[in-house]
Amino acid sequence: MDFAFHGVPEDAQVAEFAGRLSKALGRRGHQETAAQPGTKLVFSFVDRERPHPFRRHAQATYIVALLRLPEEPQDFLRTAYPFLVRNLSNLLVAVVGGPQPHTYFLTLERGYYPIRAPFDSAAHADEVAERLTPLATSQLIVDNVFEPDLEESLWQGDSATQQLRRAGETLDHWDLLPTPFPIQEILPPEDFRHLERLFQIGGLSYGNLSQRRDERRFWMSGSGVDKSRLEEVGRDVLLVKDFDTQRQAMRLSVPPQVRPRRVSVDAIEHHMIYREHPMVGAIIHVHAWIDGIPSTEVNYPCGTVQLATSVATLVREAENPSQAIIGLRNHGMTITGHDLDDIMERVDGRIIPQVPMS
């Protein structure tokens, strides 16, 4: 994997950390290069006053924002998350406080967790490199193929989309749907258009839910939509019919008169589970937790083949795959059921809003 640094470090501590990190990645066989549009991994130093993000030309480029916060904020997530977005990043690494600062990872899924090793040690850079490498080399599946072939009888939805609507309203009532992040309001128009072109992204929202339509197809919530208001077929709720292995894209049936929205990024994970387990009739993903559940080992990003495979493996190993509850490390849960009503009844009163971080 080639990697590069973009921009200017804010202070000597961040510059020294970048040097140690470069050596740690080099020891793992990765090569530092100049920052180019196609570089696999780019560390972008955050300018808190005037952001100058690195603009990737390919989805496969993984960007890590390096943020310096001289003091520990009262609310780290609220303070740091906008910098992750403004720098068009997949991940943010924050160096916080001093003279012996703490280091935190912050993900797009709003999970954040500390690096345990002392900041100025070689072990610290090794731990950062060890955690980063599998994330930066994971394969993202976000492309959609929209086919205007949805049968007219489904243009207004069916009983499954009604369950999706009710489940979304219930999750909102349980306060498990964080407010969608208004990236279009904090990014300059040219940066927002850049993300739209590259990732077909229209916003950031959290959690998703789906329900099987038939043997091969399933309804799923759209990307960036308010999950408590799943109303329009083709925009808020979409029918996933297949995965195109050659194009590495989800295939969707949409009404011909609707300008469609991309399906949730986790569609590849749901597709894997539905195809392997005919008795699974519904799936919910929330950024919350239930004590005592099995969990993935690596916090792969949403929408990657690696995360989907990890979750699908744990579903397969569950005592009852059709009613499994799987933890996603530093992230949330994926829950299967016979239908959405079944899932909601089983987890009512058991969910912990805060995901444990490690």
Give me the CATH number covering residue 50: 3.40.50.10300
Query: Do residues 154 and 135 lie in contact, with contact meaning Cβ atoms separated by under 8 Å?
Result: no
Top mean pLDDT of 33-47, 105-119, 233-247 is at: 233-247
Residue 60: which pLDDT band, with cuts at 50, 70 and 90? confident
Nearest partner of 128 among 176, 92, 99, 180, judged by Cα: 92
Tell me the residue range of the domain where 105 lies. 2-136
β-sheet bridge partners, residue 114: 104
Q: 3-state class of 137 per DSSP?
A: coil
Q: What is the mean pLDDT of residues 237-266?
A: 95
Q: How far apart are CA 142 and CA 311, in angstroms?
A: 18
Predicted confidence (pLDDT) per residue in 254-264, tens digit? 999 999 999 99
- pLDDT band of residue 193 (cuts 50, 70, 90) is low
Which one, of 240, 174, 177, lies nearest residue 212 by Cα?
240
Give the list of residues 6+ apart from residue 120 with CB closer than 8 angstroms, or none. Answer: 16, 100
pLDDT value for 88: 83
Buried b / exposed e over 81-99, threshold 16 CB at 10 Å, is bebbbbbbbbbbbbbbbee
Is pLDDT of 146 > 80? yes
DSSP code of residue 250: E
- Check whether residue 132 and residue 147 sit in a common domain: no
The pair of three-digit structure tokens given for residue 153, joined into one six-digit string: 């009888």
Q: Which of 80, 110, 63, 105 is nearest to 331 (CA)?
A: 110
Global pTM?
0.89
Contact 195, 248 (CB under 8 A): no
Please give the biggest Cα pair distance in the chain.
Answer: 65
357 part of a folded domain:
no
pLDDT of residue 236: 95
User: Based on the domain organization, do 13 and 115 belong to the same domain?
Assistant: yes
- pLDDT band per the 50, 70, 90 thresholds, residue 55: confident
Task: Pick the more confident residue, 33 or 191.
Answer: 33
Q: Residues 299, 302, 308, 311: is their CA dihedral positive or negative?
A: positive
Rounded to an integer, the average pLDDT of 285-311 is: 95
Domain check: are 273 and 317 in the same one?
A: yes
| Residue-level pLDDT at 50 | 85
Q: What pLDDT is stored for residue 49 in this prediction?
A: 87
Q: Rounded distance, CA 168 to CA 229, Å? A: 7
Domain boundary among the residues 80, 101, 136 is at 136
- Domain assignment present for residue 249? The answer is yes
Q: Which of 25, 116, 1, 12 is nearest to 68 (CA)?
A: 12
What does the pLDDT read at residue 38?
82
Residues 57 and 161 in one domain: no
User: Residue 170 — pLDDT band, cuts 50, 70, 90?
Assistant: very high
pLDDT cut 70: percent of the chain above it: 92
How high is the pLDDT of residue 358? 82
Query: Do both 178 and 219 map to the same domain?
Result: yes
The Cα 8–Cα 45 span in angstroms is: 6
In a domain, 356, yes or no: no
Q: In what order do the strands lie in the sheet with 208-212?
A: 143-147, 249-253, 237-244, 218-221, 208-212, 282-286, 332-337, 325-328
Which distant-in-sequence residues (6+ apart) come within 8 Å of 212 by Cβ?
A: 160, 218, 219, 274, 280, 281, 282
Asked if residue 326 belongs to a domain, the reply is: yes
Determine the average pLDDT of the residues in 278-307.
95
- Residues 163 and 233 occupy one common structural domain: yes
Q: In this structure, are 98 and 194 located in the same domain?
A: no
Domain boundary at 70, 101, 136, which?
Answer: 136
Whether the Cβ atoms of residue 275 and residue 243 lie closer than 8 Å to each other: no
- The distance from CA 76 to its chain's CA centroid, rounded to whole angstroms, is 19
Burial of 58 (0-12, 13-18, 19+ CB in 10 A): exposed
Average pLDDT for the chain: 91
* Residue where one domain finishes, among candidates 112, 136, 160: 136
Q: What is the pLDDT of residue 224?
A: 83
Residues 97, 111: Cα–Cα separation, whole Å: 20
